[in-house]
Structure 1
Amino acid sequence: MKREVLILGAGDHGQVVADILLAARAQGAGDTPVGFLDDDERLRGARFLGLPVLGTISELSDTPHDAVIVAIGDNAVRRRLYPALRERGERLVNAIHPTATLASGVRLGEGVMICAGAVLETGCIIGNAAIVNTNCVIGHHSRLGDYAHISGCAVIGGHVQIGEGAMVGIGSAILPGLTVGDWSVVGVGSAAARDVPAQCVAMGVPARIIPWDRRRDG
């Protein structure tokens, strides 16, 4: 079924999502991106990858479309927008690059972004509005919570649990069987060799746990 998709967010991340949808469309996928909505009024009328910025996100109901995807890299913003869109009955599509490899038995939520070269092994479960970035590997039977973001070239071992809103940095590694708690961050190039509690930062090789209160940091 052909669906006309609005991309919510016209920044760098939104343009990557647009590129994924266009690449998938070129390979015969049914979804067609028709433009962006972005709350930066300065972008109104601009074009990225040939697609126009049609207005702000508040104008969604006035802009013709069949489905949407939240294309904003900030996990907390996706956490705010996704439930509101579901409550108003919006259809949310996934953006899956045609060069990504999804094994049999992989389950995806809604509004998921799977970038070029990503590998998802069998039994993986990917939560709503999660991001699996370029050339990363999600090991077998691992689970990503809603709004989580696995950055480019990260490697997640088998049977790993990544919590809601957690961020795994570029080139980092999580050993098999571990848990990364809700809204925690594993730093760039780090190697987690033990569980990372919720609301913490893990940095280094092996990663050292640093408590982090997001409420204090705003």
Structure 2
Amino acid sequence: MKDIVVIGSGGFSKQVIEIIEHLNLRKQEYRLLGIIDDNEDKIGTDVLGYKVIGDTDYIKQISQQKEIHGVIAIADGKVKSQISRKLSEIHWVNLIHPSAIVSNYLKIGEGNIICAGVVINPEIEMGNHCHINIGTTLGHDVTMLDYVTIMPGSKVSGNVTLKSNTMVGTGSSIIQGLTIEENVVLGAGAVVTKNTEPDYLYIGVPARKQKKLL
């Protein structure tokens, strides 16, 4: 079995733990050592019965002694980027919930999390450390770069490009052929009908540019 840790003890970690448990029901593949969190107040607490065992410095030390696998259960793309670079010793795994419908033609990097009820169509390219939350559909030929987070119930049409650190809000829709630039946040329920500019929040139907993000 592979020793694995979940990095981040927030609400999304509960979903990730359940994915690991469901996968182990099919095949005993992972031994969940515990949760990693840099918030000192979280250390010693538990999530669904699994202890927060230490911070990223702790797991960095442990990973130099034995092979540790992991995923990052944190939505913020920039934070995911910082952690993945710091923990270069970790063997990042892809966790795909057994109920997800995933095309055999998916090209996928590492450290990605695909939740229950997600539909992945053919010839999607997914980078590293992306989160696809429950009930999301991705159309054919979508290109997704690193550290993208898609919240529940979103609809991404075919031939869409999602650049690094994009966050797609709950229930958002993106029509076919568009490009969502780097560091864009789409508010909940946004309907994107035009290409975006980088580093902005977009909200509404149709989605309109709001404040610039720092």
Corresponding residue of 2:39: 40
Corresponding residue of 2:183: 183
Give the letter for the 1:75 counterpart: G
Deviates more, 1:163-172 or 1:197-206: 197-206
Q: Say which of 61, 74, 77 aligns to 1:75.
A: 77
Corresponding residue of 1:172: 172
Report deviation, 1:192: 0.5
Give the letter for the 2:56 counterpart: I
Q: Contact 2:67–2:91 at 8 Å: present in 1 too?
A: no
* Percent pairwise identity: 28
Corresponding residue of 1:23: 22
SS at match of 2:91: coil
TM-score after normalising by structure 2? 0.93
Tell me the number of residue pairs that the alignment of Structure 1 and Structure 2 aligns.
211
Q: Distance in 2 between matches of 1:194 and 1:29?
A: 45
Report deviation, 1:66: 2.4
Q: Distance in 1 between matches of 2:24 and 2:81?
A: 27
Runs of 4+ in 1 over 3 A off after TM superposition: 61-65
SS at match of 2:35: strand
State the Cα deviation string for residues 1-24 of structure 1 (Å, max 9, x = none). Answer: x21101111121222211211111
- Change beyond 3 A, Cα 1:211–1:41: closer
Report deviation, 1:65: 5.1
- Unaligned 5+ segments in structure 2 are none
Deviates more, 1:74-83 or 1:40-49: 40-49
Q: Contact 1:6–1:65 at 8 Å: present in 2 too?
A: no
TM-score after normalising by structure 1? 0.91
Which structure 2 residues correspond to residues 4-153 of structure 1 after superposition, within 5 A?
A: 4-28=3-27, 30-63=29-62, 66-86=68-88, 89-153=89-153
Give the letter for the 1:99 counterpart: S
Over the aligned positions, Cα root-mean-square deviation in angstroms equals 1.5
